[in-house]
Every structure is written in C-alpha cells, then in structure tokens.
C-alpha cells in the first residue's frame, strides 16, 4: 500500500512539473489589425519655404498617437513619414531618433504582404528618409491638375518598430474623413489628415503578419 501511495505521489509531481514547464513558455500575443482615421499631421512652410512644425508621433504597441520623446515608432508631418531609427535629416523640429526602427516599401495588395524581409529595412539618414519623400517616390503621387495628394495603389509601407517588432501600413487618404471625391475646397482646407490600415506583429522575432 505504501509503495502504491509513493508511486501515485511521484506521478503527480511529474505531471505538475510538466504543466508548470509548459506554462512558463513565452505568451503568444495576437496580431493586431486596425484602422486609424484623421491622424492630423500639420506642418508650417512648404511650397519653397522652409518646412517646420512638430511631427505627430505614433506608437504601434498602443495603437495611438503619443507625445513621448522615446516611445514612438513612426511620425508624420505633412506628407513626410519618418521612423524612430537612424538619424535626423536635419529639418526644423525633427525629433531625435532613439530606437532601432526602419522601413521599406513593398509592392502588392495589403492582404497579400504576409511577412517581412528582415534584410530589406533601411533607416532615416542625413541624406534621406527610409520612406522617400516627393511625388512618386514613396507612398503618394501629387496631382497637379487637382492639387491633391493621392496614395499610390499597391504601395505597402513595412516598418520595424523602435524595439524590433514589425508592422505594415496602407495609406487610404490624406484628407479629413477620407472623402471619395476631393473637391477644391477639401484640397485646400482639409488636408494632412491621414487615414490608414495597419497590422502590428507584437511578438518579438516573429516576421509573419498572421
């Protein structure tokens, strides 16, 4: 009888130890997918004048804008998008890079960009941004006839966050409330409001967006 009790006790200890070992593994977090509407990215100057004004910083971990000087991943000012990685281009009011972020542009549908290429990322530098600025170079085209900024279909922005995780963005609109038809009045007064889809992979070392 004592032998049977001892064997039962040993079995319980083994089972408990096995369960504890499994519970101690890293928690797998769910991939986050959301839409950000009307993220305002004002700027001063432009059209031949020096550009200035604070950048609107965004944190993928919280899914919201932030005023933190360090806990941000990407930032917007006018049509410019910067990353928290590399160094400043030297423009007025540009934030200091304190993270290890980077970016590259992938061509394809947003849904079909299923993973990242860890070797493709570049950082902001004193010679240019990871997401190139200017019509046709990055995420948008400028339509001279209508004086509008138009996201380029099939341009997906892929980011490495400040702490080495990954995200992707599809810019949908540069105008307030993302109107389908951009009138001259909207083009003149309701610009610099970003609406975009994003997917964020919160698990360290995971390159897939699934």
C-beta of residue 141 within 8 angstroms of C-beta of residue 152: yes
User: How far, in Å, CA of 205 to CA of 50, rounded?
Assistant: 40
pLDDT at 134 over 70: yes
**Predicted local distance difference test score (pLDDT) of residue 15:** 40
Rounded mean pLDDT of 5-15?
43
Q: Which residue has the tokens 């304190």?
A: 98
Lowest pLDDT segment from 1-5, 41-45, 133-137, 160-164: 1-5
- What is the C-alpha end-to-end distance of the chain, expressed in Å? 53
**Predicted local distance difference test score (pLDDT) of residue 7:** 41
In this prediction, residue 167 has a pLDDT band, given cuts at 50, 70 and 90, of very high
Rounded mean pLDDT of 62-83?
98
User: How far, in Å, CA of 122 to CA of 129, rounded?
Assistant: 9
Per residue in 145-166, pLDDT (tens digit) is 999 999 999 999 999 999 999 9
Structure tokens at 122: 């570049």
**Predicted local distance difference test score (pLDDT) of residue 185:** 96
Lowest pLDDT segment from 15-19, 142-146, 203-207: 15-19
Per residue in 49-64, pLDDT (tens digit) is 889 999 999 999 999 9
**Predicted local distance difference test score (pLDDT) of residue 25:** 63
C-beta of residue 78 within 8 angstroms of C-beta of residue 43: yes
User: How far, in Å, CA of 15 to CA of 119, rounded?
Assistant: 43
In this prediction, residue 3 has a pLDDT band, given cuts at 50, 70 and 90, of low
**Predicted local distance difference test score (pLDDT) of residue 110:** 98
Rounded mean pLDDT of 97-102?
98
pTM of the model: 0.87
Rounded mean pLDDT of 184-194?
97
**Predicted local distance difference test score (pLDDT) of residue 21:** 44
User: How far, in Å, CA of 20 to CA of 60, rounded?
Assistant: 32
Q: DSSP for 162-177, please give it.
A: TTS-EEEEEEEEEETT
117 vs 3, more confident: 117
Mean per-residue pLDDT over the chain, rounded: 90
**Predicted local distance difference test score (pLDDT) of residue 23:** 57
Q: Which residues of 122-158 are buried (b: 16+ CB within 10 A; e: fewer)?
A: bbbeeeebbbebeeeebbbbeeeeeebbbbeeebbbb
C-beta of residue 165 within 8 angstroms of C-beta of residue 31: no
Positive or negative, the CA dihedral 120, 30, 97, 157 is positive
C-beta of residue 159 within 8 angstroms of C-beta of residue 73: yes
């Amino acid at each position: 009888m004592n032998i049977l009790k001892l064997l039962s006790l040993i079995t319980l200890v083994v089972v408990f130890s096995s369960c504890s070992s499994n519970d101690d593994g890293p928690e797998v977090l769910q991939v986050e997918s959301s839409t950000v509407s009307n993220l305002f990215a004002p700027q001063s100057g432009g059209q031949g004048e020096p550009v200035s004004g604070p950048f609107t910083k965004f944190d993928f971990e919280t899914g919201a804008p932030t005023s933190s000087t360090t806990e941000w991943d990407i930032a917007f000012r006018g049509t410019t998008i910067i990353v928290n990685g590399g160094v400043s281009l030297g423009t007025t009011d540009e934030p200091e890079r304190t993270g290890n972020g980077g970016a590259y542009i992938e061509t394809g549908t947003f849904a079909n960009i299923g993973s990242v290429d860890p070797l493709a990322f570049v950082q902001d530098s004193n010679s240019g941004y990871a997401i190139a600025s200017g019509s046709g170079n990055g995420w948008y085209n400028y339509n001279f006839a209508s004086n509008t900024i138009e996201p380029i279909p099939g341009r997906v922005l892929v980011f490495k966050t400040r702490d080495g995780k990954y995200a992707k963005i599809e810019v949908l609109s540069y105008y307030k409330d993302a109107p389908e038809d951009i009138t001259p009045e909207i083009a003149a007064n309701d610009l610099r409001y970003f609406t975009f889809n994003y997917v964020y992979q919160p698990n360290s070392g995971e390159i897939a967006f699934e």
